Structure 1
Amino acid sequence: MTTENKKTIDAIVALAKSLTKEEDEAERKKLLDTLRDVAYSLESPEDTMQRIMFYNLQLASIRVGIDLKIFEILSKSDIPMTVEQLAAKTACAPVLLSRILRYLASTATIKETGKDTFAGRGSSLFRLHRPSIPGPSRLPKRNPAWNTDMPAFIWVQTKPENFAHFNNWMAVQRHGMPTWLDVYPFQDKVRAFNLTAETPLFVDLGGGLGHQCIALRERLPELSGRVILQEIPATLPHAIAHEKVEHMAQDFFQPQAMKGAKFYYLRNILHDYHDEKCVLILKNIIAAMEKDSVILIDEMVLPNAGVHWQAAQLDMTMMTALASMERTKEQWYALMESAGLKINQIWTYTTSLQDSIIEAVPA
């Protein structure tokens, strides 16, 4: 940000603060509308999509906050309260409550004053009666799941229209944003290997239609070695054909059939599952690794405090849709340790979502 731009922003902030008195109501509202229009004009199509798609979460989460008396409790406290303190007063599971509080803070409904610590904003939301906030859904006090005996990604394939929408969403949700190939030093890493055309170089587990395998081939067409897309048999026929990408049927909950690959890559896989399932997936990979193999985990790595609203709303969506989660940096380190892995380094390539590449090896 240039010095001139910073001065302009500081002047706008000073003006906004000067118009908070009731006698300036008309000008304050005009300023709010102007700032809103400016913010919308700066949005990319992806930003607009993120903002609109998750509006329902705000109402539903406020409804939950009212039901749990979060706003009332915080408004009566003279000091910020920890998640543990609020859990004791709401009888809500701490892990779930921390995610609800994090999302409410990201939408400026409450304040986050530190890691797992929150305060009220002088809001009168707690005075609203529950019928005043008609939410499209309600969050229970423990993590929900689909009302089906089928795994979610098997179930969705029984719904062709839903499955088509899901694949389209996965393909375009980060369109125009940086990718893992922009930050991870793949070429430098590969130089350490004595590759041949038969070397299993890159295995994309649960890679959907194969976009990441193709992106790697197109970014680094000179690479030797095999690039392999792994998917379950029901999905594999829908994968995109590419002359330099192999397709292989593989369930990542089963022992890994491709032994000794240099890179085992998981993109937005582990956020779909709770820790026990993630450990199973990772241990299946570990059993197939050689000494020079690494695991690349392409996921959001949330900060331990101050999560952006776009990331927080995706975490809430994962919770309500799959009883799963977007993990904080602290939670990623704990998960890797429980699977017998250590993190070498984390490369972050988007700002708001904190999309990152985690490089992990056996501990």
Structure 2
Amino acid sequence: MLLLSNRRIRCGVILSYLLEFYLLVQQLKALIANLEAFSTQGTEIIQLSRQVAVALEGPFETFQRLAYSALPLVSARIAQEHNIFQTLIANKDEPTSVTVLSEETKTIYRRSSCPVGFYTYLESHPVQGAAFHRFMEAQFASLPTWLDVLPFDTEYAASATPETLIFVDLGGGNGQQYVALRKKYPALQGRIILQDRPAILEKAITPDIVERMPYDYLGEQPVKGAS
């Protein structure tokens, strides 16, 4: 009887939380639908909403917010300098395409003072290149991975032999996905191919059993039939 009572209490608490959450969501929707009714409390609502947003952030969300916080200012400055805002206002009654913007503002994208592509630039500037790759690794380090939701061993490699091509890691960087795959399935059989630019493959941390294949993402995929 005591065990049953405890279960009922826990279920009651969970239902209470769910009800409170549902009511909160409905109140927020009502606020958004009728902003004028809450205009006198606008400042307080903004402050509280910002506090809630920060409180709910995990490390990944905080990292993303800080890393990209400068972009709105840069975008606004560019739009101001090239009369993009004025053009949008002048065409407010109809959609404004990129073609219209380029024609009316007399502005199109140019590669500024960098005569080479982005990745070519990184290869010739190792400090910036290393910083970029650290950023790419750290950006999703704290998030669940595809291995957390996909039973790879039974779904794709259950009948694999050492000659079976089971995984092509496109743009795999230094091979961190292979490391994660092998850590979760140490007995996994099958061929694995790591594809990236030559300069990146040279620094890969994968063992020799992983096939390294230079590949340009804009070209046709040379590997066919991977499970």
Segments of structure 2 that go 5 or more residues without pairing to the other structure are: 1-16
In the alignment, the residues of structure 1 paired with residue 103 and residue 144 of structure 2 have an alpha-carbon distance, to the nearest angstrom, of 38
Displacement of 1:208 in angstroms is 1.2
Matched, 1:151 2:85: no
Q: Tell me which of the two structures has the higher relative contact order, counting C-alpha pairs closer than 8 angstroms and 6 or more residues apart.
A: 1
Paired residue secondary structure (2:45)? helix
User: 1:240 aligns to what SS in structure 2?
Assistant: coil
Measure, in 1, the Cα distance between the counterparts of 2:111 and 2:149.
Answer: 35
Report the Cα distance in structure 1 between the residues aligned to 2:99 and 2:117, rounded to whole angstroms.
30
Query: 2:203 is matched with which residue?
Result: 238
Unaligned runs of 5+ in 1: 94-139, 254-269, 271-277, 296-363
Change (3 A) 1:232 1:59: closer
Q: Does 1:73 align with 2:36?
A: no
Q: Which has the higher strand share?
A: 1
Match of 2:57 in 1: 43
Identical-residue share of aligned pairs (%): 28
Tell me by how many angstroms 1:149 deviates.
Answer: 4.0
TM-score by length of 2: 0.72
Q: Which residue of 1 aligns with 2:128?
A: 162
**How far, CA to CA, are the matches of 1:148 and 1:87 in structure 2?**
24
Q: 1:13 to 1:197 in 2, by over 3 A?
A: closer
Give the alignment of 1:28-177 within 5 angstroms: 28-66=42-80, 67-68=83-84, 69-73=86-90, 77=93, 81-84=94-97, 87-88=99-100, 90-91=101-102, 141-145=107-111, 147-177=113-143
Q: Tell me how far apart the structure 2 counterparts of residues 50 and 42 of structure 1 sit (CA, whole Å).
A: 14
In the alignment, the residues of structure 2 paired with residue 184 and residue 3 of structure 1 have an alpha-carbon distance, to the nearest angstrom, of 32
- Which secondary structure state, in structure 2, belongs to the residue aligned with residue 196 of structure 1? coil
Task: Report the CA distance shift for 1:146/1:179 in structure 2 as closer, same or farther (over 3 A).
Answer: farther
Distance 1:15 1:225 in 2: 55
Residue 9 (structure 1) aligned with residue 25 (structure 2): yes
- 2: CA distance between counterparts of 1:83 and 1:181? 42
CA RMSD, Structure 1 to Structure 2 (Å)? 3.2
May I ask how many residue pairs the two structures share in their alignment? 204
> Higher helix share goes to which structure?
2
Aligned match of 2:181 in 208, 216, 222?
A: 216
Task: Single out whichever of 151-160 and 168-177 deviates more from structure 2.
Answer: 151-160
Q: Distance in 2 between the 1:175 and 1:70 partners?
A: 41
